[in-house]
Amino acid sequence: MPMIEARIKLEHDCPYSRFTKAVPEAEMFHWCSRESDVLEVSCVHTEAPDLDLALGRLLEELEAKAVRRVSLGRRGQLIVQKHNYSSMKQNVNAAIEENNCMEVQPTVYRGGYEWYRILAFDNRDLVRLFGSLSRWADVDVVSKETLTERSARDAMTVSIRSLFGMLTDRQLKALLVALSAGYYDTPRRVRTEDISRRLNSPRTTYETHFRKAEGKVMRALMPYVELMGGLKGEPPNDVRRAGRRKS
């Protein structure tokens, strides 16, 4: 049975979510283990004393001790912490493990919400997990995808297969020729009609392969763009409105 990848957005009462509600400009990336956690906190528009005060309250709520703190300058800071897991009355990670699923970290906290990327090896486990979480959290399934012909290693890392495995030979060639011809240079050195002429191919045929290749690669990159750009599955309101108007 193939793996299933689900991206979910949660809202429930937990210290991390309360922190991002109290400091709306902040976003937090959380790598969790049994022994210690790593938090990367980014909050460019809040003064350091305010951020430190909010982080102090967070550590107090978690019954945690910061064992290492590394400044990232204006970008924020890294914190290595040890905390009492019994202080988390509603533990999402525990629910994920209890239902035989796996989180691909980091967890992202922003604006009072939490985003998780989850791998399941049986759809029934995923259904049970959603049911379990729904008892004490608002669960929004952002996306759900069956990963055919992919290993767990591919699903948890950036692999060549995950980026380019869905491209046909013609789509891959169309993308490669565009790259080598300078289509993505600034300023652009060539147009699609110039490339199609070189290939002795109708422009519409070349553009079809090229645009499909672009779309597949960008969709494969989307999780990593989200992680860096802070969208996490939710484009800004003006982008969503524009998309609806076009459709």
pLDDT value at 48 more than 50? yes
pLDDT value at 172 more than 80? yes
Query: Nearest CA to 69 among 40, 107, 36?
Result: 40
Cα 49 off chain centre by: 29
Average the pLDDT over 1-9 and give the result. 87
pLDDT winner (highest mean) among 27-36, 77-86, 121-130:
121-130
Nearest 5°: the CA angle 140, 234, 90 is 35
Average the pLDDT over 37-58 and give the result. 79
Report how far residue 31's alpha carbon sits from residue 39's, in angstroms, rounded to the nearest whole number.
7
Report how far residue 27's alpha carbon sits from residue 108's, in angstroms, rounded to the nearest whole number.
7
E strand residue ranges, 34-184: 37-42, 64-71, 76-83, 102-103, 107-110, 113-120, 138-147
What confidence score (pLDDT) does residue 153 get? 61
What confidence score (pLDDT) does residue 240 get? 45
244: how many CB neighbours lie within 10 A of its CB? 8
- Out of 69-83, 146-160, 162-176, pick the least confident: 146-160
Average the pLDDT over 112-136 and give the result. 94
**Which residues sit opposite 223 in a β-bridge?**
none
Q: How confident is the model at residue 156 (pLDDT cuts 50, 70, 90)?
A: low
**Residue position matching structure tokens 């209890």:** 98
DSSP string, 78-94: EEEEEE-GGG-SS-HHH
Question: Burial code of 51-81, b = ≥16 C-beta within 10 A, e = fewer?
Answer: beebbeebbebbebebeeeeeeeeebbebeb
For residue range 56-115, what is the model confidence (pLDDT) as tens digits?
999 998 888 898 888 877 667 888 888 766 556 678 988 999 999 999 888 999 889 999
Sign of CA dihedral 49, 55, 56, 61: positive
For residue range 7-30, what is the model confidence (pLDDT) as tens digits?
999 999 989 999 999 888 888 999
Report how far residue 86's alpha carbon sits from residue 69's, in angstroms, rounded to the nearest whole number.
23
- Out of 33-37, 105-109, 128-132, 198-202, pick the least confident: 33-37
* Share above pLDDT 90 across residues of the chain, in percent, rounded to a whole number: 37
